[in-house]
Amino acid sequence: MAAHVCNTPMALVSLVDEKRQWFKSKKGLDASETSRDISFCGHAIHDEEIFIVEDALKDERFCDNPLVCNVPNVRFYAGVPLWLTNGCAIGTLCVIDHVPRLLTQAQIETLKFLASQVVRHLESRWKNLLLSDQLIYTSKLAVLGEMTACVAHEINTPLGILSAKIEVLTHKQKIGVLKEALLLQELEKMHKTTERIAEIIKGLARFSRGSHRDGLVRYSLQQIVFETLELCENKLKKEKVDLSLEFERDCIVDCRPVEISQILLNLIMNAVYAVKNHEQRWITLRLFLQADQVHLQVVDSGSGISETVVNQMMTPFFTTKPVGVGTGLGLSISRGLAEEHGGRLSYEKWQGHTSFKLSLPVAQFQQKSA
């Protein structure tokens, strides 16, 4: 349609990354990608509205460009950047010709409109893909992976204690010095230890199963926090991050508890990663009410996130972690899950520190917690 409106033989939807540009939809061109340094679109995405080169041979930036001197022999180019609602430009909608051209104002406006439709379409496709079972699960596995070593430790330590106690009791029994009172006391402790191990395993099993097709249930938000902390307590201990809770009042929310747990775990794991090399390492979880919304805030001892990262961090696959460490899915999936619950996930600096806030509609208020 863009080619038709502008009367050009070529039109493209291109996506641009640091090194390349890909053609996601194309007319009149065979190539499926080119390197970014020779691309016109790489220039266009820096433009606010539209980037036009009426005659590439008369433009010193492009006159010796291989795309101009060789096939496809570009002479005219007009590209509208595809600005996502989060403020990132990811590519362009462009029209190209082998001869110099001028566009009318009506053609420019139509091209801009078509670009806005491309963005709308891409964003809705993203949203569906992002909330697919597979990606939610991938992100869940990433966060589980970060905790596995610590959870194993959390199970192994009490198992070791159990084993040692059994050995001592067996030995005492064999040599005839085991008193009944001691036996009962030790059995009681051993029972508590097995219960603790069972709780951890139950929590892991609950967290690991797919839940996206579950219906909503009425659940205490405070309870979800406690169940989630069970899973990451040891990770916090290992990284020497102090955790404190400031709970104003508990609330019942209509939710899929595993998904709220997934959001909270992502936020906690992000906070742990962010502060683990700092001198001050703490996380505060705050739970408070405002009108009919309950807010669960995760504040960490970091001093805020740079504007460049803030602008992109909710975009799928954006990560500042080294390759292979993070998927970059945590925040974008968490935001999608929050919105599916009729809530939102937002970033804000709080008292000079990094803070993320999950806000959910309240289903029912609880008594003030002690």
Ligand X SMILES: Nc1ncnc2c1ncn2[C@@H]1O[C@H](COP(=O)(O)OP(=O)(O)OP(=O)(O)O)[C@@H](O)[C@H]1O
Tell me which of ligand X, Mg ion, none is bound by residue 318, counting a contact when its beta carbon lies within the kind-specific cut-off of 5 to 8 angstroms. ligand X
Q: Which is nearer to ligand X, 81 or 330 (CB)?
A: 330
Q: Which is nearer to Mg ion, 261 or 266 (CB)?
A: 266
Q: Which residues bind Mg ion (CB under 5 A)?
A: 266, 270, 330
Q: Does 328 bind ligand X (CB under 6 A)?
A: yes
Does residue 341 contact residue 362 with C-beta atoms inside 8 Å?
no
Residues pairing with 93 in the sheet? 13, 80
Residue 315 neighbours by CB under 8 Å, 6+ apart: 84, 86, 88, 332
Q: How far is the CB of 127 from ligand X (least distance, A)?
A: 16
Q: Which is nearer to Mg ion, 80 or 263 (CB)?
A: 263
Site for ligand X in 239-278 (CB under 6 A): 266, 270-271, 274
Give the nearest residue (CB) to Mg ion.
330
Q: How far is the CB of 270 from ligand X (least distance, A)?
A: 3
Q: Where are the alpha helices (DSSP H) in 70-132?
A: 105-130
Q: Are strands 251-255 and 353-361 parallel, antiparallel or unpaired?
A: unpaired
Q: Which is nearer to ligand X, 27 or 127 (CB)?
A: 127
Q: How far is the CB of 267 from ligand X (least distance, A)?
A: 7
How many whole angstroms separate alpha carbon 294 and alpha carbon 251? 7
Tell me which of Mg ion, ligand X, none is bound by residue 305, counting a contact when its beta carbon lies within the kind-specific cut-off of 5 to 8 angstroms. ligand X
Site for ligand X in 126-185 (CB under 6 A): 142
Q: Which is nearer to Mg ion, 12 or 345 (CB)?
A: 345
Q: Which is nearer to ligand X, 292 or 348 (CB)?
A: 348
Q: Does 346 bind ligand X (CB under 6 A)?
A: no
Q: How far is the CB of 309 from ligand X (least distance, A)?
A: 5
Q: Which is nearer to ligand X, 42 or 330 (CB)?
A: 330
How many whole angstroms separate alpha carbon 246 and alpha carbon 36? 50
Q: What's the token pair of residue 240?
A: 């020497």
Residue 289 neighbours by CB under 8 Å, 6+ apart: 248, 249, 251, 295, 362, 365
Q: How far is the CB of 245 from ligand X (least distance, A)?
A: 18
Place of tokens 């954006």: 318
Q: How far is the CB of 244 from ligand X (least distance, A)?
A: 16
Count of residues interacting with ligand X (CB under 6 A): 22
One of 79, 302, 336, 343 touching ligand X (CB under 6 A): 302
Does residue 254 contact residue 215 with C-beta atoms inside 8 Å?
no
The SS3 of residue 174 is helix
One of 321, 348, 364, 365 touching ligand X (CB under 6 A): 321
Q: How far is the CB of 78 from Mg ion (least distance, A)?
A: 39
Residue 364 has a CB neighbour count (10 Å cut-off) of 11
Q: Does 336 bind ligand X (CB under 6 A)?
A: no
How many whole angstroms separate alpha carbon 222 and alpha carbon 226? 6
Does residue 111 contact residue 93 with C-beta atoms inside 8 Å?
yes
Burial bucket for residue 28 (CB in 10 Å: 0-12, 13-18, 19+): middle
Tell me the window of 75-83, 109-117, 232-240, 316-324 that interacts with ligand X (CB under 6 A): 316-324
**DSSP characters for 133-171?**
HHHHHHHHHHHHHHHHHHHHHHHHHHHHHHHHHHHHHHH
Residue 328 has a CB neighbour count (10 Å cut-off) of 18
Does residue 75 contact residue 57 with C-beta atoms inside 8 Å?
yes
Q: How far is the CB of 328 from Mg ion (least distance, A)?
A: 8
- Residues within the interface to ligand X (CB under 6 A): 142, 266, 270-271, 274, 300, 302, 305, 309, 313, 318-321, 326-332, 354
